[in-house]
Structure 1
Amino acid sequence: MTASHTTTNTLTLRDDDVLVSARSLAEYEDMFGLDRMDLERRIVDCPGGAASAVAEISAAGGSAIAVDPQYARGSDELRTRILDDVDRAVAHLQRREFDYDWDVRGGVVGHEEKRRRAAEQMLDHMEVAPERYVAGALPDLPLASDSADLVLCSHLLFTYADRLDMADHVDAIVEMARIAPEVRIYPLVDHAGNPLPELVRSVIARLKKERLTSRIEPVVRPFQLAATTRLVVQRTGNQRP
């Protein structure tokens, strides 16, 4: 899936602005509405962070890669950053426990265990299959056009709307749509759980000018109570039936 060109630009986020989040494939299935047929497609997870989705898909015989600027770190430095960020994420969630449906993730203790297990699974897989983890950053991914069928974008766009403007969102989505004919983005609220209707509408309008169609889908089992929808973007003519 990789191409010869290299990343030349990044979204306007400092390295310490973004958590390197650890999430399981089960959480991805909920967030992105993934079904068995989706998991048989060529998938790109961007940014992949410490999610174990690629490891789990690969173990089942599927085709998936993750892209993240953090993968440029050495293995020891990356492991330290990921495990530190798991601690930060768990502490943040517990401070805002009433904003989440803990039953969806096995309670506070169960959720923490799942996050740590996902991070360890991702790190272990990266050791044996480093080609599945590509160092790169939006909006210039080091991947060939049409090298995937589906791009998943978790907790970057809209989540950091206080630091990314509309142009950042559009440029990132257009780039992901270059890689695959379908892009799914979750959530559509910022990191505090605030809805962003004006930004979402503006992004959708701009994407239409890029010949990309968009629709908002419900999320059946949201962990974050306010994050009940995802954005699905497709190239014109690639709508799902």
Structure 2
Amino acid sequence: MARPHVVVVPYPCSGNINPALQVAKLLHRHGVYVTFVNTEHNHRRVQATEGAGAVRGREGFRFEAIPDGLSDADRGKQDYGRGLAVSTSTRCAAPLRDLIARLNATPGVPPVTCVLPTMLMSFVLGVARELGIPTMAFWTASAAALMTHMRLRELEERGYVPLKDESYLTNGYLEKTVIDWIPGMPPIRLSDFSSFLRTTDPNDFGLRFNESEANHCAKAGAVRNKPTVRVCASESVSLLVVRVLHA
């Protein structure tokens, strides 16, 4: 039987890259062949700060890079974060598809048997589906955060968001409004949700993008999150939610 080969594709920010790299190393330690995919920009940054050896890899663990679609001028813009999210979700599918084809044609490299993106990179699931490759999505925050993100549409339908006007940011509405109907979650104040909820714009990019990415988790063959990997006792709320997510 051929050695399993997982292609790990994190969103290009440290909050996704670092936990994804930890998971990749664990998989490699258990005999899985791993290809870890950075953007070309981050690949060059690592080489510049830590030397070429940092991305040279070793037996059964290789680093690859694909373009993120942004120019150097784009990286200096005030809305760089939004630009990166848009660019990765719309311009990275073809380079990833080409990379997987190249890996499958490389002598000595086992065929790709699973693709593992971090969420915010849900386009990867579509690429893998086209190629007939199983997927697993990695949500790098807590399971509780995943569940609240997946309920954004319902929060809107029930009239909690977007906020009616900017006075709702300071009039106690966020602190006094308790959400007690999310499966597996104890009652939680609206002020404890992610900050991108604090908008009066129904078309706010952060609201739409995060809702879409969270719900794309359901399209993966499996979902993992940091607490299920680390199993910390302090994450009791998240572990409670994990049972609901797996129900």
Q: Report the structure, 1 or 2, having the larger helix content.
A: 2
TM-score (norm 1): 0.38
- Return the index of the structure with the highest Cα Rg: 2
Report 1 or 2 for greater relative contact order, CA contacts < 8 Å, sequence distance ≥ 6. Answer: 1
